Amino acid sequence: MSSLMSAENNPNDCVKQQKLLKLSTADNNNTDNTSSIIGNIGAKCLTVGLKKQATNNQTEQQQQQQQNHKSNGSVENGSIMNHQASGSSNNNQDEHQIDESLYSRQLYVLGHDAMKRMARSSVLIAGLGGLGVEIAKNIILGGVKEVTLHDNKLADYYDLSSQYYLNESSIGKNRAEQSLLNLSELNPHVKVNVHQGALIDESFLQNFSVIVLTDSSLEEQLSVGEITREKGISLIVAQSRGLFGQIFCDFGNNFTVYDTNGENPISVLISGITKEKAGVVACIEDARHGFEDGDVVRFAEVKGMTEINGKDYKIKVTGPCQFSIGDTTGFSDYQNGGIVTQVKQPKAMNFKPLKESILAPDYLDSFSDRPQQEHLFFQALDRFQNQNGRLPRSWNQEDADAFYELLVGLVNERQVEPSSINENLAKIFAKQARGNLAPVNSFIGGGAAQEVMKACTGKFSPIYQWFYYDAFECLPNDANQLPKESDAQPLNCRYDGQNAVFGKQFQQKLCDLRYFLVGAGAIGCEHLKHFAMIGAGTSERGKIVVTDMDIIEKSNLNRQFLFRPKDVGGFKSKIAAIATKAMNPQINVIAHENRVGVDTEKYYDDDFFETLDGVANALDNLEARTYMDRKCVYYRIPLLESGTLGTKGNVQIVIPNLTESYSSSQDPPEKSIPICTLKNFPNAIEHTLQWARDEFEGLYKQAPEQAYLYLTDPKFIERTNKMNGNQPIEIGESVKKVLAERPTSFMSCIKWARLYFEQQFNHQIQQLLFNFPPDYTTTTGAPFWSGPKKCPHPINFDPSNSLHLDFVMAAANLRAYLYNIPQCPNREEILNLVTSLSESEIPKFKPKQNLKIAVNDSELSMMDSNQFDVGERFKSILAELPTLEELKSVKINPIEFEKDDDTNYHMDFIVAASNLRAENYEIAPADRHKSKLIAGRIIPAIATTTALISGLVFIELYKFVQGFKTLDPYMNSFVNLALPFFGFSTPTACQTLKYYDNSFTIWDRFEINKDMTLQEFIDYFLNEHRLDITMISQGNVLLYSFFLNKEKREERMPLKMTEVLKRVSKKRIESYVKSLVFEICCNDDNGEDVEVPYVRYVLNNEPMDISK
């Protein structure tokens, strides 16, 4: 290995001497159900809870007057450099108009009101090192009005390990000026300035809503703190020193929090209210309400006791399904119905100013003594820096001792118990304090940026008031393995900041890493940033392969920070790789546009996986996550799994031979809406939106797809006829509807839409009321229309009603697109066409006397099980279809639902259909924004959480590279920035199983390296392992079983295993397949079933080169 000292002459050489590592996930939802991947919060859980201090409430208007200080882009003292993003005519967004196409996912986290407050806020960030640029990036993406950068420091090599908008050419230049261009390009709606001049200038500082200090001395912090207190400006101090970080918040007195947790208000249906002094409310069917004592709730739709509708009540919880609202004796008797909804209350908080809080601190973490120590560490470090004009030299014992002496003096001043200070921890803090780590800056920067947003908006609970974090466990526990001073000397290369913590030998390992990053979305972009900053994949051996088949959309730009407006329409992986190379030109990053799964195993085969050091998932769906998890277990490589859902995020670490896999534990399935609820008995807007989405899929996608196959696939009829149950009939009927009832003009589409309206929102409801009139009672005498069943009413079509016309316009235009008929976007013309239909063309309702309507899914299942000759009915349906000759000119365009295009009528249909059905059942309607969230199954997302979670992932990557062989150093994480909450737990160990005296885990298997016959295979396990095989399968193909008939058994026994597989599956084994997985069921000597590992059956194929 060549000496790293050569990097003094050529900084780039330093980069070429390092290696690579391994990661783990789940991105919401995602989704996949991102919220479900919280991970285990176990005995080592560190809980960070919010210390609450409430005083009198303050109105939003008063709070905004206190928080908002506008910057006009110029100051009397000093100068400001402005930069406006190209292609933007106006960088300041209208506070009344939020760019929903850009902020779509963030709006579902913050809401419109908070976004508008943020769009009126101006922020100053002082210090543009790695931490400062991370905070700036996140809040610019977030959409504040204006960000001003201030920094009098010049870039040096220590910055390059985490400041991704600096490079070697920036050395010796002002960090803020060098970062301006890249930061200003992140969001065209945000004005970005650089201030040149003194920071301690009241006339300058008073222009801002929030001030963030990231690289200031304590003296400077205190001076700025006095001004912010006097002027009513929020102050945030954020610092990182190697593996340690700090956040402090002072939002003044009477700071109003409008929403403490960001959760949707709880809403439940009720079944009764007693008429008594206590006034006890019962939830339907013993449903748990989830309220707490003191919550304020509001009632609606209560029948009988109507006096409480629209009124707010403070409740007392009397049980999980009941609560008291106080005296109801003066009200009417309760009859039925009713919804009760939580009403969120604003909360006022009082903060101590910095000069008081630093002496009497309140810590976010109240379960550990570490914050108390680190609070003093940072102050002692400030003293060391003031005395010496520098930070302690990396891993220098003399400086560490001097730091400790200062710390002891500080401890005596503060009258802290000396025994509460860990001397070893303190000295290691000093030895690595010169370090500058991108993952730690990402974690602290993500958290600090969220605090900026809280200060601007009053949305979510702020940190009160000090938060400390350390990743001390990234360093070896053995003092003899800690870096030596000679190993951490500066080399004038971009990794000096990282070498200062881990040493150059560790850096070499990072550079050599070969990693597979699956996904280049929000988390994927952050991961690529970290790969570039830590130097992973930069040596001759190293490589980062990233794959993502998605293309960039405008809504991605708000949090996927490697992309710009000009990139919209391009492949994420390709554009992200280019941006990553710009951050670190030495990184070997290869972009693919493939999905991961069985169909791409010719690319991602044994040769590919066996050269990897690990996999990092950045996925948004469960199927791909579990597939990659299986691959990592099979190839015995680490997996870094992570995911986010709004302000929540998690990290799960999967380590070969140590931890359980991602798939080892599963979350409970999401509650599904019963079919009968959707079809006939909705009681919530979620039900009507799901119904509308189902209607869209059935009308415009599923049925047209079947019709398209009927027209183009010669085997469609044969294949459909072999399907189970009533599927052939259902498919046949849908094909007939699409092809036999096809329109010939746009007017035909209008008429169809009008008839569809009549059927869905009038006739169907009248039929339901015919079967179950409003006064209908059950066999027990109870009202049928009570509890969760809301009695509907039909809607009469009115062309002057905008919602009615919205529906017809959307439904007709979608049908026109389906059949290649020119669409009509003119609303007036649509109105004229609708009104031109005569009354005789709209059939009157005639009740179906013998129609049975299922009341619940059990009844529906019984009705569906009625048997009749499916084959004959399918034949008769086919006979009613036009011939293929008649249909040869017909073209069908199945429609794939796309929620983010406001011109395609997709969401127009969903919103109108859902709200009309909601009107049928007297359910409060949903606006387009909420409808898109629910029907579009959008995963709320915000850049702050993504940055923070990615930082935690790469902190775990450091531990992989260290080669730790026990679980103790590793951490699974769950965070919720809204509360705020930070939970860390040791990963769950993999389960150990046994057969006879042999122990095994999911990471173990049997290995067979020669091609055996089936008989030899069975004999091998019987003779070598005392296992009597009863079944053998490969995937979903059963190769052998104890109940196999004699003829097949005799036929297969002498055949090679590969030949048996080919014959039974009727498929060839592809040349790129180097091994097969066989699952076996066995009995032991006593004839009892035993669980055993799977079998890896190695083939003798020549390997393929698919490295490109």
Candidate list 676, 749, 1081, 1082, residue with the active-site label: 676
Q: What is the C-alpha separation between 483 and 56, in angstroms, rounded?
A: 53
CA distance 228 to 225: 5
Question: Which 3 state secondary structure label does DSSP give 515?
Answer: strand
CB 23 within 8 A of CB 972: no
What are the two backbone dihedrals, phi and then psi, of residue 1085, each rounded to the nearest 5 degrees? -60, -25
3-state secondary structure of 321: coil
Please state whether beta strands 322-324 and 316-319 pair in parallel, antiparallel, or not at all (unpaired). Answer: antiparallel
Q: Is the Cβ–Cβ distance between 441 and 134 less than 8 Å? A: yes
User: Could you count the other beta carbons within 10 Å of the beta carbon of residue 885?
Assistant: 7
Residue 84 phi/psi, 5-degree rounding, is -110, 130
Q: What is the Cα–Cα distance from 614 to 515, expressed in whole angstroms?
A: 5
Enter the tokens of residue 58.
Answer: 């303050």
- Check if the beta carbon of residue 1038 is closer than 8 Å to that of residue 1008: no
Residue linked to tokens 């007195």: 253
* CA distances to 24, 108, 785 from 645, in Å: 16, 10, 37
Tell me phi and psi for residue 344, to 5 degrees: -70, 140
CB count in 10 Å sphere of residue 668: 6
- The backbone torsions φ and ψ at residue 283, rounded to the nearest 5 degrees and listed phi first, read -85, 155
The strand pair at 514-518 and 543-547 is best described as: parallel
Dihedral angle, C-alpha 1053, 1055, 1059, 1061, nearest 10 °? 10
126's enclosing H/E stretch is strand 122-126
- Catalytic residue flag (residue 676): yes
Question: Quick one: tokens of 860?
Answer: 């529906």
Q: Give strand pairing partners of 240.
A: 245
Which amino acid, residue 161? S
- Helix %, strand %, coil % for the chain, to 5? 40, 15, 45
The tokens 């051996």 sit on which residue? 541
Among 577, 587, 605, which residue's Cα sits nearest to residue 513? 587
Q: Give the CA distances from residue 109 to residues 259, 301, 770, 936, in Å, rounded to whole numbers and listed in that order.
A: 11, 29, 44, 15
The C-alpha atoms of residue 556 and residue 572 are separated, in whole angstroms, by 10
Contact 196, 175 (CB under 8 A): no
Maximum alpha-carbon separation in the chain:
98
Distance in angstroms between the alpha carbons of the first and the last residue of the chain: 27
- 3-class DSSP assignment, residue 400: helix
No. of helices (H) and no. of strands (E), the chain: 36, 34
Question: 65, exposed or middle or buried, with CB in 10 Å at 0-12, 13-18, 19+?
Answer: exposed
DSSP for 552-575, written as a single string: --GGGGGT-TT--GGGTTSBHHHH
Pairing mode, if any, of strands 122-126 and 146-150?
Answer: parallel
For residue 915, the one-letter residue type is N
Q: Is the dihedral of CA 440, 947, 543, 32 positive or negative?
A: positive
CA contacts within 13 A on the Cβ side of 892: 25
Tokens found for residue 681: 């008995």
Work out the angle between the directed axes of helices 100-110 and 928-935 (0-180°, nearest 10): 80
Residues with a known catalytic role:
676
